[in-house]
Structures are given as C-alpha cells and as structure tokens.
Amino acid sequence: MVQQVLYRALVSTKWLAESVRAGKLGPGLRVLDASWYSPGTREARKEYLERHVPGASFFDIEECRDTASPYEMMLPSEERFADYVGRLGISNSTHVVVYDGDHLGTFYAPRAWWMFRVFGHRTVSVLNGGFRNWLKEGHPVTSEPSRPEPAVFKATLNPSLLKTYEQVLENLKSKRFQLVDSRSQGRYLGTEPEPDAVGLDSGHIRGSVNMPFMDFLTEEGFEKNPEELRAMFEAKKVDLEQPLIATCRKGVTACHIALAAYLCGKPDVAVYDGSWSEWFRRAPPETRVSQQKGEKA
C-alpha cells in the first residue's frame, strides 16, 4: 500500500531522453548534475561544462551546504537551500531529476535527492544508471550551460528525515533506531584509512551495522531491484518495519541507504548529517569502534 503513494525515486535514461527530445524541460521539469569528486582526481564543474544532459544545471554540493560548519557537507539552512535551487529555476511544483558522472553509476545524486526531500520537496528522482549509462546508451549531450529563469522555492525542513549528533548519542541508550553505516567494510572496521582525511581515523559508531553503498548497485551502475534490496537488508538483520538512521562519513553515501529503503517502500529513513566526520571528533571514545586500535578509534 505504501509504495503506491510514494513518488518515483528513479527515472530511466530512456524516459529522460524522451523528455529532452520532446522539449519537456522547463519550469515543470529540471535536471541537475550533482557530480562531486575528491580533490586532485576529476573536476566536476569542468566536466559539466564540457558535456552534460541537455538542459541540465550544475548543482554544486560544495556551494549548497553549511559553509560555516567545521564538519563536511552539512546541510545549509532552509533559506540558503531555497535561494540556491530557486536560482536553478526550481519551484515547489518542479519535478527534479538528479544524476552524477561517477564511474559507479551513482554516487552523489542520492544526496541531492535526499536534500530536496528533507527540505519538503516530494517530486524528485534519481536518474537510474547515471551519466555513465546516459553516455553508454548514446543519448545526446551538450556543452551549452543551462540558463533557467529563476523561480521561487519555499523550503520547509522535515526534521524526521534528519538526525543530529545529540539524537544519535541518545539513541545509543534508547536503541529506538537501527543504525546503518554505508561506507566500505575496511573503513567501517577501521582497517583501511579514510580517504583524503586529515586527523580522521576510520572506524564506526558502536552498534551500527555495515551495508556498503556500492552493494546497492549492479555492475552496470543501476539500482538493484526492490526484491534484491529487501534481501540485502534482511541478510543484515535490518528490519524495514522499524525506525532506521543511515550514516557514513559525511552524510553523502548514507543517502544510498535512504534511497534503497525508499525503493522497498520505506520513505522515512533519517540521515545522520554529521556522520563519522562529526562523531569521531565529538563522541565519547567508548562509542567509537575500530579494529586498527583495539576497541576504540
């Protein structure tokens, strides 16, 4: 029953290509390239300017965040988000489709998807297969920047989809929420370092379960089907009928857990925005688990 009322979290490359060809992009349908890459690897904005889905705007996650926070990629304020997406031509009645250019198929797009949802926007979808498959299937690209007419967007934070440090700390005692970490197994266990991190050891929050986000994707870069996703949650003894908090390092790949659960009919997964980046620096040592240094990170 729940799945029937949920907005479609995924759209196909074929559907988007047909929408582009039919000239449907505009105030009612906007496309965003939400690519981001580790410094010194690829340049997301430069690649966007070289080629992107026709009509797509660049959604800069580095700009659309709380730049005053000492932690990575924290949510901006309602006002900042509303102003930013309004300048991209997005109103509260716009269907937003997000993608990124990662070689996995999807990496940062679910973060943008969750950001719209946490600010009260229901009509948002991820391009299934990402730009990788858009190119592979031979769909059109352009280097022409999008210049949409600005729109008015009203952002209303949905606190049920967002968890703070204090709430996650309290949850260690109450255990009202299951806690799932989306990083690779090595980073979760503390046997591999956090990439591009200074003063941040790897490890995980005590009591969290590990479900690496890459496992939600097929080798071709598409989301696995709901039956496969449900089986993955069941294998980790994660009950989708119960409350769930997703975490990672900076609240980005945690959104893959929220997306996978949504595809299984569970739209209420909350993301711990500060994630390990904040937890490592603030939490009591006994709550940080790492094999690298015994029981505590």
Per-residue pLDDT tens digits of the chain, which is 297 residues long: 334 468 999 999 999 999 999 999 999 999 999 999 988 899 999 999 999 999 999 999 999 999 899 888 899 999 999 999 999 999 999 999 999 999 999 999 999 999 999 999 999 999 999 999 999 999 999 999 999 999 999 999 999 999 999 999 999 999 999 999 999 999 999 999 998 888 899 999 999 999 999 999 999 999 999 999 999 999 999 999 999 999 999 999 999 999 999 999 999 999 999 999 999 999 999 999 998 754 444
Best CA proximity match to 110, nearest among 34, 27, 20, 221: 34
Which of 157, 180, 212 terminates a domain? The answer is 157
Per the structure, how many domains does the chain have? 2
Structural domain for 27, as ranges: 10-157
Please check whether residues 75 and 110 belong to one and the same domain. Answer: yes
Residue 4 belongs to a domain: no
Question: Which letter, b or e, does each residue of 82-92 get, where b requires 16 or more Cβ atoms within 10 Å of its Cβ?
Answer: bbbbbebbbbb
CATH number for the domain spanning 185: value is 3.40.250.10
Let me know whether 164 and 151 are in one domain.
no
pLDDT (0 to 100) of residue 5? 65
In a domain, 98, yes or no: yes
Q: Does 255 share its domain with 194?
A: yes
pLDDT of 1 reads: 31
Please check whether residue 83 lies inside any domain of the structure.
yes
- Per the domain annotation, does 64 fall within a domain? yes
Taking each continuous run of H as one helix and of E as one strand, the counts in the chain are 11, 12
Nearest-Å Rg of the Cα atoms of the chain is 19
Report the distance separating Cα 188 and Cα 193, nearest Å.
10
Q: Which amino acid is at 79?
A: E
Sign of CA dihedral 52, 113, 168, 71: positive
Alpha helical stretches, state H, the chain: 2-5, 13-21, 44-50, 78-86, 109-118, 130-136, 165-174, 185-189, 226-235, 254-263, 275-282
| Euclidean distance between CA atoms 246 and 244, whole angstroms | 7
Residues annotated as part of the active site: 248
Number of Cα atoms under 13 Å in the Cβ half of residue 34 = 28
| 167 and 137 co-located in one domain | no
The answer to whether residues 46 and 146 belong to one domain is yes
If asked whether residues 145 and 24 sit together in one domain, one would say yes
Pairing of strands 162-163, 95-99: unpaired
Q: Specify the pLDDT at position 73.
A: 86
Distance CA 102, CA 135 (A): 12
User: What pLDDT score does 198 carry?
Assistant: 83
Helix (H) or strand (E) holding 246: strand 244-247
Packing angle, helices 275-282 and 165-174, rounded to 10 = 80
Residue 145: other Cβ atoms inside 10 A = 11
**Could you tell me if residue 250 is inside a domain?**
yes
For residue 194, which of 203, 205, 181 has the smallest C-alpha distance? 203
